[in-house]
Amino acid sequence: MRLREKAAWGLAAALGLFVVASAAGVVSGGPMDPPGSPGSTYKSLAMIPGSWLGVLPADDTGDPCNSARFACVMGGAAVLDNETGLVWQRDVSTATGHTTSAVVACATAGTGGRNGWRLPDLAELSSLLDPAWPDDWRPPAGSPFTGLPADGDNTSYSYWTSNQHVEIGNTSGWAVEIGEQGSLPFSTSANALLRHWCVRGAGASFNSQ
């Protein structure tokens, strides 16, 4: 048999097997119509963790709780920082205590009906302070936080961070002064009476440096 005839017979045999299999229900390409509409691939901003790469305005909408940078969450009890992905207490505590009591206060806080609060580290707390203020250390204009020194009231308060500074015979903690003419981060005695501002989200819990 010639080569062309053999090829024709092979093709015919293959087609015959396909027809038989199709008739028996063995071959099925499945339904042509999809079972439903495809799911959305979009995520809200709150679902995307902060990358620490963005520079977002806090006063772009006139609504402190709904700006590019900040969003009030947990029924208004907390604030999501879209730059870092961290969640902060909206109403900052005015209570004072030594560094250990500050750690305990955050660990036992139930802000927004949720556990998991902690004392922020130095970098996290500093990330809330806007260098655009000429002489002050405070969050950017338009932020929704309460309980902080107001602009123009000539006051400032120091807040604990989770970073410790351990020296021979002495343990001190790192703190940040927020408000009018606030200072750069500084170390002070662990027994000093300072305020605290709790955060929720990924990060270190207690550091020694």
Distance CA 90, CA 70 (A): 11
Mean pLDDT of 9-23: 47
The reply to whether 65 falls in a domain is no
Q: In this model, does residue 41 exceed pLDDT 50?
A: no
Q: What's the whole-number mean pLDDT along residues 5-32?
A: 48
Sheet with 199-200, strands from edge to edge, namely 70-73, 78-81, 87-89, 199-200, 117-118
Give the per-residue pLDDT at 67: 97
Would you say residue 31 lies in a domain? no
Instruction: Please report which confidence band the pLDDT of residue 17 belongs to, taking 50, 70 and 90 as the band edges.
Output: very low
Of 67-81, 105-119, 147-161, the least confident = 147-161
Min mean pLDDT across 25-39, 66-80, 141-155 is at 25-39
Domain contains 146: yes
Total number of domains constituting the chain: 1
Q: What is the mean pLDDT of the chain?
A: 80
Domain residues for the domain of 112 are: 93-208
Q: Which two tokens stand for residue 143?
A: 């932020």
> How do residues 48-99 score in pLDDT, each as one tens digit?
555 667 789 999 999 999 999 999 999 999 999 999 999 999 999 999 999 9
CA pair distance 156, 120, nearest whole angstrom: 19
Q: Which two tokens stand for residue 138?
A: 């405070």
In a domain, 203, yes or no: yes
